[in-house]
Amino acid sequence: MGFAIIGTGSALPSKTISNEQLSTFLDTSNEWIESRTGILERRVCTTETLTDLCAQAATAALKQAGLTPQDLDLIICASITGDTIIPSQACMIQSALGTNCPALDINTACTGFIYALDIAAGYYARERVKHVLIVAAEAMSRIVDWTDRSICVLFGDGAGAAVLGPGDDLLSIKISARGDDKALFLEGHVGNSPFSAFRPINPFVSMDGQEVFKFAVGSLVQDLRDVIAQANLQMEEITYVLPHQANMRIIKAAIPRLGLAPQKFLTNIARLGNISAASIPILLDESSREGRFHPGDILALSAFGGGLTSGACVFRWGLPHSE
């Protein structure tokens, strides 16, 4: 299908917050956070804007692809925490890179990168594009309540990018949605219209942990089975699984259900926490640059999140092995 990934990039804010540091102002502990989630530390924005991180990630991906921003035909940004609503975060990236191609944002929460790949596949099928930039970026630190120990410990900030070019490496892809505003919720802008019946309630993410856990494990398992079958592959032919990094317990529950060796599941949640849509592309970039992948490797990505949305895909890795 349609494209190859010809460059990846990622960018993280410089400040690291450990579980111990969180314990100094929240009633929590390293032991509690680590055993419940697998997270040891996370990055948070201080002076960095999301646009800064996006531009950095995009520039790294373009450099690896051997392209300039002017070579891009489309920019898709997946984010729920853009610096601005107007302009879109994609337009802010376009401006920062100094190019003038069409640009759009999508909101499919943590499933953002997969949905963006699916959208790009459509543009390739219509032969409308040669080079597409996908950036998935979040400053989750903006939308979590830092007085609520059950939520703020889970998330982190960062940006991941991928540049797509002509090719045939996408072997299968699946996206789905199931509207549910109870499992994961963040209210929108309410404003101060004197005529509106609504008032702002709570500007922070809320979550039903158990419901999300069950949805996550179920989706992770079923979506991967579906896309692997759709690609006419056997489970064992998958070289690596890159699951959304929401909670190590989700990944651990999925492993026996999928029957794949645990070493095939890549993670970075211990260092970075859950960065929503950015988790997977950051993991992809880091793994690539540390020399994990070889051309021909079969990678399976699987994400799930607010919406509720989920998605998965299988693609062949085409970039040369990094030393």
Partner 1 sequence: MNTFDKVVALIAERRDLDTSTMKPETTFDDLKLDSLDKAELVMTLEETFGITIDTAEQMKTIGDVVALVEQS
Question: Shortest gap between Cβ of 152 and partner 1 (angstroms)?
Answer: 18
Q: Tell me which residues in 13-52 interact with partner 1 (CB under 8 A).
A: 36
Whether 54 is catalytic is: no
Taking CB under 8 A as the rule, does residue 102 contact partner 1?
A: no
Nearest to 33 by CA among 43, 44, 18: 18
Active-site residue, 274 included: yes
Task: Give me the phi and psi of 51, to 5 degrees please.
Answer: -60, -40
- Given a contact cutoff of 8 angstroms between Cβ atoms, the answer to whether 225 and 258 are in contact is yes
Stretch that binds partner 1, among 11-19, 188-196, 209-217, 268-276 (CB under 8 A): 209-217
| Three-class SS state of 193 | coil
Contact set for partner 1, span 229-258 (CB under 8 A) = 247, 249, 253
**Under rule CB under 8 A, how many of the chain's residues touch partner 1?**
10
Whether 244 is a known active-site residue: answer yes
Residue 225 binds partner 1, judged by CB under 8 A:
no
State the minimum distance, in angstroms, from the CB of residue 308 to partner 1: 15
- Work out how close the CB of 214 gets to partner 1 at its nearest, in angstroms, rounded to a whole number: 5
Which residue of the set 110, 152, 247, 313 is catalytic? 110
Q: Which stretch binds partner 1 (CB under 8 A): 72-80, 104-112, 167-175, 211-219?
A: 211-219
CB-based contacts of 223-226 (< 8 A; 24+ apart in sequence): 223/174, 223/176, 223/302, 223/304, 223/310, 223/311, 223/312, 224/254, 224/258, 224/300, 224/302, 224/312, 225/258, 226/174, 226/312
| Torsion from C-alpha of 212, 309, 254, 172, nearest 10 degrees | 180
Instruction: Provide the minimum distance between the beta carbon of 178 and partner 1 in the complex, in angstroms, as a whole number.
Output: 16
- Give the catalytic positions in this structure: 110, 244, 274
